Amino acid sequence: MTLLNTSDKLTKYQKELNGKLSGNIKTEILVSMGTCGIAAGTTPVLEELKKEVVEQNMQDSVRIVQVGCMGLCHSEPTIEVIDRESGHCVVFGNVAADKAKAIVAKTIRAAGVDPVAKTWYYPEEGQNTGSALQARIVLRNCGRINPESIDEYISRSGYQAAAKALTSMKSAEVISTILDSGLRGRGGGGFPTGKKWQFAAAQKADAKYVICNADEGDPGAFMDRAVLEGDPHSVLEAMIIAGYAVGSHDGVIYIRAEYPLAVKRLHHAIGQAKEMGLLGKNIFGSGFDFDIELKYGAGAFVCGEETALIHSVEGKRGEPGFKPPFPAISGLWKKPTVVNNVETYANVCAIIRNGAAWFKKIGTENSPGTKVFSLTGKINKVGLIEVPMGTTLRDIIFSLGEGIKDNKKFKAVQTGGPSGGCITEANLDSPIDYNSLIALGSMMGSGGMIVLDEDDCMVNIAKFFLEFTLDESCGRCTPCRIGNKRLHEMLNEITIGNGTHEILGKLRKLSETIKDTALCGLGQTSPNPVLSTIKNFESEYLAHIDHKKCPAKVCVKLLSYKINDNCVGCTLCARNCPVTCISGERKQKHLIDQAKCIKCGVCYEACKFHAIDKN
């Protein structure tokens, strides 16, 4: 491998690559090989494509690239076909292996698979010309390059930002660029990244650390994983820049063990960067040394909290510590430590390359840039999206997500994971950024966005998040350890029909106290789902309490299944019932034994005649 130990060598190498990579290639086929793509069955598609290219003798003109997540989860397996000459590209969704042949035969439109519209643009490469709502800074390389090839990363100006920072900027300039850009931490709290760096840089210490928090754990959030799997070098490069800025020579990436593919790709990327001299001693001849080490989480959500993460890196139980002192003053091994999450780092290189002013133009005044969201739940187009801050939820849900599944009625969107809250129809038009979400009683969190429809019970949703917090609470402080347990129990009482107004009052009061007293961010925000659902859906709580009814028909204890006169006596329900509590002669109306019924709903699903009422 070439040693890129000066900035000039890097530029020269990039030029060579750009020539070489294009070569005689006429068509590029990008195959989405992220975890979800693979889960949906991309691997056989890839194999088939490779075979076909050989069979049709097109090795010289067609290049197959395994790329990371394109974000089009709703249509996995996805592949993108790019015609080099015209620049025309089409994304195909739901590609089955047997369609590969047709695609390779370049009969793009005749392939018999659905083309999927791409609705994003790249701010670095040009202006948004049309209606695209998505702007890709963080995901600029995801789904476009082979994440296992450092060459492809370099060919897209990879490591140019680090070269620029290390060879032509003072560390203070790097920090002021990040400060000026207004970049805020994408992990949840939204603390200005430049300030964090500034604090750490101001400390005098024999060692400092730069940590990448890749312990993404919010249920329903997978944007960091997409970056790590699809563009690992962008994180490494940003960490080098952060190290240079604060005066640290040691980087640590703390990554969930549940992300094996991301681990593998990071490992690979670090190896490549070391070989090319992009990590190690005297990077770009600047005299600056930097190395990165991988540390694995082991299944503890709370380790996403920075002090808990540091304890975990130190090999301890991942219990958060109190702040102050903040990690920037005393962190890993009691040394000044910068902790940023993956998405934050993924912004850094673009900011260094294009300048703070460029970045500030995107997004809102208090929250510049973009935000990646994983859009899931009861929505037509589940996927990973990156939008400028300030985009409205309506645009996200109804334009990008193409509305609610099965034409159901939108009820709420939950943001911020277990720390966040629910936002209702009334607020769908407010532009979202850090501040506006907090004003709406939710928070940005890491970017999970779960859409709920009329079939979701909000009490049950609150209970679900509480259950998650209970599972993941470290157990150190009283409010989180016992308080959340009690909240959960009270919610449970409501869902099984034992709710009272006194319980509702206690639920509110205890939630407020937990927010006010818990030790760490997880604990302090854990009652948010409760408070926000009570605030926005009080009537639903009251229906459970006063009428012992679950309006969304979710809370099993409050449900009953009854067979109505539509019944033709087909016996299908009786045959499917797991506890055989449905009786009735053939061609006679059937009857459910309420005492035996476990309310599993199998009969309801099975019945073809709408003969079963769920109430």
Partner 1 sequence: MLKLRINGMPVTVEDNSTILQAARKLDIKIPTLCHMELDCFNLEHRIGSCRVCVVEVSGRRNLAPACCTPVEDNMEVRTHTLRAINARRTMLDLLLSNHPKDCLTCEKNLDCELQALAQEMGLHRIMYKGEQAKRKIDLANESIVRDMNKCIMCRRCETACNTIQTVGILSGVKRGFNSIVSTASEKPLAETKCTFCGQCVAACPVGALTEMNRTYDVWRALNDETKHVIVQTAPAVRVALGEEFGLEPGSISTGKMVTGLRMLGFDKVFDTDFAADLTIMEETTEFIQRLKENKNLPILTSCCPGWVKFFEHQFPDLLHIPSTAKSPQQMFGAMAKTYYAKKIGVEASEITVVSVMPCLAKKNEAARPEFARDGVRDVDIVISTRELANMLKEAGIQFNELRNSAFDNPMGESTGAGVIFGSTGGVLEAVLRTAADWVSGTEVKDIDFEDVRGLAGIKEATVNVAGTEIRVAIASGLGNARTLLEKIRRGESKYHAIEIMACPGGCLNGGGQPYIHGDTTILEKRRLALYDEDRSKTIRKSHENPYIQKIYREFLGEPGSHLAHELLHTHYTARKNE
Partner 2 sequence: MTDQCTKCCDNVSILNMYPDKKKELEKYIDSLPLGSDSDRNRGFLIQSLHKAQGIFGYLPEEIQLFVAQKLKLHLSEVFGVISFYSYFTTVPVGKFKINVCTGTACFVKGADSIVGEFRRFLNIEMGETTKDMKFSLGGLRCVGACSLAPVVMVNDKVYGNVTPKKVPEILEECK
Q: Rule CB under 8 A: which residues touch partner 2? A: 34-36, 39-40, 73-74, 76, 217-222, 225-226, 257-258, 295-301, 312-319, 333, 374, 376-378, 382-383, 414, 417, 448, 450, 452, 456, 461, 464-465, 468, 474, 578, 600-602, 605
β-pairing, 89-92 with 421-424? unpaired
Residue 377 contacts partner 1 per CB under 8 A: no
Select from partner 1, partner 2, none the partner in contact with residue 470, using the beta carbon and a kind-dependent cut-off of 5 to 8 Å: partner 1
The C-alpha angle with vertex 420 and arms to 227 and 295, in degrees rounded to 5, equals 40
- Per-position DSSP letters for 293-339, written without gaps between them: EEEE--S-GGGGSHHHHHHHHTTS------SSSPTTTS-GGGS-EEE
Q: Taking CB under 8 A as the rule, does residue 128 contact partner 1?
A: no
Q: Say which entry of partner 2, partner 1, none residue 292 contacts (CB below 5 to 8 A, set by partner kind).
A: none
Q: Min. distance of Cβ 483 from partner 1 in angstroms?
A: 5
- Name the segment binding partner 1 (CB under 8 A); options: 191-199, 240-248, 358-366, 511-519: 511-519
- Tell me, what amino acid is at 508? R
Q: Which of 372, 139, 312 is nearest to 235 (CA)?
A: 139
Among 70, 385, 466, 470, binds partner 1 (CB under 8 A): 470
3-class DSSP assignment, residue 461: helix
**With CB cut-offs between 5 and 8 Å by kind, which of partner 1, partner 2, none does residue 510 bind?**
partner 1
**Min CB(492)–partner 1 separation in Å:** 10
Q: Is 47 in the site for partner 1 (CB under 8 A)?
A: no
Q: Which is nearer to partner 2, 308 or 351 (CB)?
A: 308
Q: By CB under 8 A, is residue 305 in contact with partner 1? A: no
- Burial of 87 (C-beta count, 10 Å sphere; 0-12/13-18/19+): exposed
Q: Which two tokens stand for residue 178?
A: 């990040």
Q: Is 314 in the site for partner 1 (CB under 8 A)?
A: no
Could you say whether residue 505 binds partner 1 (CB under 8 A)? no
Mapped onto helix, strand or coil, the DSSP state of residue 281 is: strand
Quote the DSSP letter at residue 268: H
Residue 129 identity: T
Nearer to partner 1, 107 or 478 (CB): 478
Q: Which of 387, 422, 474, 558 binds partner 1 (CB under 8 A)?
A: 474
In the bound state with partner 2, the residue whose beta carbon lies nearer, of 497 and 601, is 601
Question: How far apart (Å, rounded) are the C-alpha atoms in residues 30 and 598?
Answer: 48
In the list partner 2, partner 1, none, the entry touching 450 (Cβ below 5 to 8 angstroms by class) is partner 2
Burial of 418 (0-12, 13-18, 19+ CB in 10 A): buried
Closest separation in Å from C-beta 333 to partner 2: 8
Residue owning tokens 């003798």: 57
Question: One-letter amino acid identity for 271?
Answer: G
DSSP state for residue 189 in the 8-state scheme = T
SS3 1: coil
Q: Rounded to 5 degrees, what are φ and ψ at 392?
A: -85, 155
* Beta strand 115-116 pairing with 250-255: unpaired
In the DSSP assignment, the letter for residue 58 is -
Q: Does 322 bind partner 1 (CB under 8 A)?
A: yes
By CB under 8 A, residue 516 contacts partner 1: yes
Q: Which does 306 bind (CB under 5 to 8 A by kind): partner 1, partner 2, none?
A: none
Contact between 554 and 455 under an 8 Å Cβ cutoff? The reply is yes
Residue 508 sits in the site that holds partner 1 (CB under 8 A): no
Q: List the structure tokens of 38.
A: 């693979």
Select 58 or 205, whichever has its Cβ closest to partner 1: 205
Of the candidates 14, 337, 347, 473, which one interacts with partner 1 according to CB under 8 A? 473
Which one of 139, 279, 449, 510 is in contact with partner 1 (CB under 8 A)? 510
Q: How many angstroms separate the CA atoms of 235 and 259, rounded?
A: 16
**Is the distance from CB of 413 to CB of 488 less than 8 angstroms?**
no
In this structure, is the dihedral angle defined by the CA atoms of residues 538, 539, 541 and 545, taken in order, positive or negative?
positive
Residue from 22, 478, 500, 583 binding partner 1 (CB under 8 A): 478
517 binds, among partner 1, partner 2, none (CB under 5 to 8 A by kind): partner 1
Decide: is 475 part of the binding site for partner 1 (CB under 8 A): yes
Residue 583: C-alpha distances to residues 64, 315, 578, 615 (Å): 59, 59, 13, 20
Options 47, 173, 429, 489; binder of partner 1; rule CB under 8 A: 489
For residue 401, the minimal CB distance to partner 2 (Å) is 12
468 Rama class: left (phi>0) / alpha (psi -120 to 50) / beta: alpha
Note whether 190 and 235 are within 8 A (CB). no
Pick the binder of partner 1 from 56, 168, 282, 513 (CB under 8 A): 513
Q: Which range touches partner 1 (CB under 8 A), out of 18-26, 168-176, 393-401, 474-482?
A: 474-482
- Per-position x/- string for 243-282, each x denoting binding to partner 1 as judged by CB under 8 A, each - no binding: ----------------------------------------
- Exactly one of 69, 339, 518, 607 binds partner 1 (CB under 8 A); that residue is 518
Instruction: Report yes or no: 508 and 527 within 8 Å, Cβ to Cβ.
Output: no
Rounded least distance, CB 10 to partner 2, Å: 31
- Joined tokens for residue 464: 């679900």
Give CA angle at 362 (89, 30), nearest 5°.
20
In sequence order, which residues have a C-beta less than 8 Å from that of residue 499 and are 6 or more positions away? 493, 541, 544, 545
Which of residues 40 and 276 has its CB atom nearest to partner 2 in the complex?
40
Residue 210 or residue 510: which is nearer to partner 1 going by CB?
A: 510
How far apart are CB 479 and partner 1 at their closest, in Å? 6
The option from partner 1, partner 2, none interacting with 456 (CB < 5 to 8 A, set by class) reads partner 2
- What is the smallest separation between the CB atom of 290 and partner 2, expressed in angstroms? 18
Residue among 297 and 521 whose Cβ is closer to partner 2: 297
Order of strands across the sheet that contains 27-32: 62-67, 27-32, 79-83, 89-92, 115-116
Q: Nearest approach, Cβ of 316 to partner 1 (angstroms)?
A: 10
**Residue ranges that bind partner 1, judged by CB under 8 A:** 300, 317, 319, 322, 324, 470-479, 481-486, 489, 506, 509-510, 513, 515-519, 524
